[in-house]
Amino acid sequence: MSQTEPLIICEYCDAVYRRTPLQRHQRALCPRCAGVLYRHGSLSIQQRLALSITGAVLLLFANLYPVMTIGMQGLSNSATLWDSVLILSSGSITFIALVMALAIIFAPVLQITLLCWLLSFALAGRRAPGFAVSMRCLEGLRPWSMLEVCLLGALVAVIKLAGLLDVIPGIGLIALAALSMLIIYIAGRDIRDLWEQV
Amino acid sequence: MSTPVLADDLGLCLCHGCGLACELGKDHTCPRCGAPLHRRKANAINRGWAFLLAALVFYVPANLLPVMHTEMLGSGSDSTIGGGVLEFWEAGAWDIALIIFIASVGVPAIKFFSLGLLLFTAQRRSSWAQRQRSQLYRGVELIGYWSMLDVIVVALVAALVQLRGLGTIEPRPGILFFGMVVVLTMFSAMSFDPRLIWDHPGNDGGRTDGASE
């Protein structure tokens, strides 16, 4: 492309450095502001695709199965992630339901879909149609994907209710736990490597 | 410490879309991913303050208004965020009380203070503790969304406790304001440009023009 490709600019203080190859588990720090410049990308495209497909399966489980079930005097009720979005959408507070839906359902679904799309083409050594747009979407979605917060929230909810009622964690909660860890690992900044790899 | 070469001096600019070092030509778009390029984020300080002040305003109703309404066996009660923390504390579950306290009071307070400090010092073109301020910004970015915890807890609890006749829990407007505080502080942090911290050379390794080779 151009001769500026081997250069890396620190996003926090604008200093310019020349890229050098890193060893496993190493990361490059900016000596001026101590920000992370880049990390060693330890996953191959094949491994990433495998993890993304795993993520897609977990995402299905996390959304289709109830996160938990409560029981009290013979009555019981269970809730999925979508139910918790719906309950916020009633009344005057609809806006927060949109934020919630983006944070715990739409952003992760889009992230996983885009990853599967990009990586399956990358596996064949090609850039997927809409490569640039998809990559920029992934970049923009990252701060809005809050599955790990959702996991902690579910655990707090379990404890909050456990004193009053019987709480039974569901399949959705287990899938959520696995998925939130996985998504941090595969949808992080390292995905930028794809620009150089394909 | 010798000052490294700065992108600004070389006419280069980091693309926020893909991380490529781009030459700032006439067309301000990244040749690789097509994202618009800016030397610095536009109106970073004004936008940062605007979002931060809006968040501060919303923080008042977020704490005063009830976040949920509990109806148990005929008797109903409203609870606020602070009330929820106290409830756990008095029940002896200090660890849960601490988690909720950190997420719902500690994190927003730290964010308000840190963003205010970053915006204020960047506005004053201060060269005080640049490295530490950079680290503070990264900290704010990192803890940003954890305050959504309360919103998620209320939504899950309300979705679960829908036992007609025995007990129901409903969300109340406080949670809307609380969610808005989180979103607005995230916007504030995103519109701030951390490179502004370094734009004014300080006493440690003062950069003189043309001597940066």
Residue B212 lies in a domain: no
B138 touches chain A (CB under 8 A): yes
Q: Looking at beta carbons, which residues of chain A come within 8 Å of B155?
A: 84-85, 87-88, 100
- Statement to judge: residues B182 and B95 lie in one domain: yes
Residue B209 lies in a domain: no
Say how far apart CA B69 and CA A93 lie, in whole Å.
Answer: 14
pLDDT confidence of residue B206: 43
- Statement to judge: residues B66 and B156 lie in one domain: yes
- Statement to judge: residues B23 and B68 lie in one domain: no
pTM of the model: 0.88
Q: Looking at beta carbons, which residues of chain A come within 8 Å of B200?
A: none
The shortest CB-CB distance from B195 to any of A14, A92, A157 is to A14
Q: Looking at beta carbons, which residues of chain B come within 8 Å of A195?
A: 18-20, 32-33
What are the residue ranges of helices labelled H in chain B? 7-10, 44-64, 81-90, 94-101, 107-123, 130-143, 148-160, 174-191
Q: Which tens digits make up the pLDDT trace of A97-136? A: 999 999 999 999 999 999 999 999 999 888 889 898 899 8
Say how far apart CA A83 and CA A186 lie, in whole Å.
Answer: 27
Q: Looking at beta carbons, which residues of chain A come within 8 Å of B149?
A: 149, 152-153, 156
Q: Which two tokens stand for residue B207?
A: 């950069």
Q: In chain B, how many domains are there?
A: 2
- Statement to judge: residues B189 and B129 lie in one domain: yes
Say how far apart CA A149 and CA B98 lie, in whole Å.
Answer: 16
- Statement to judge: residues B19 and B89 lie in one domain: no
- Statement to judge: residues B56 and B106 lie in one domain: yes
Say how far apart CA B159 and CA B162 lie, in whole Å.
Answer: 7
pLDDT along chain B (213 residues), means of 10: 76 84 80 84 91 95 90 83 86 83 87 94 86 91 86 91 84 92 93 87 47 34
pLDDT confidence of residue B9: 83
The answer to ipTM > 0.85 is yes
Does the beta-carbon distance from A70 to B166 stay under 8 Å? no
Q: Which two tokens stand for residue B209?
A: 């023009």
Q: Which two tokens stand for residue A40?
A: 């060693």
Residue B126 lies in a domain: yes
Does the beta-carbon distance from B179 to A100 stay under 8 Å? yes
pLDDT confidence of residue A33: 86
- Statement to judge: residues B129 and B180 lie in one domain: yes
B180 touches chain A (CB under 8 A): yes
pLDDT confidence of residue B209: 39
- Statement to judge: residues B71 and B158 lie in one domain: yes
| Range(s) of the domain holding residue B159 | 44-197
Residue B191 lies in a domain: yes
- Which H or E element spans position A68? strand A68-72
- Statement to judge: residues B2 and B34 lie in one domain: yes
CA distances, A1 to each of A115, B17, B124 (Å):
24, 17, 40
- Statement to judge: residues B80 and B183 lie in one domain: yes
Residue B58 lies in a domain: yes
- Statement to judge: residues B147 and B177 lie in one domain: yes
Regions of chain A with pLDDT less than 70: 1-5
- Which H or E element spans position A9? strand A7-9
Residue B131 lies in a domain: yes
Residue B144 lies in a domain: yes
- Statement to judge: residues B82 and B148 lie in one domain: yes
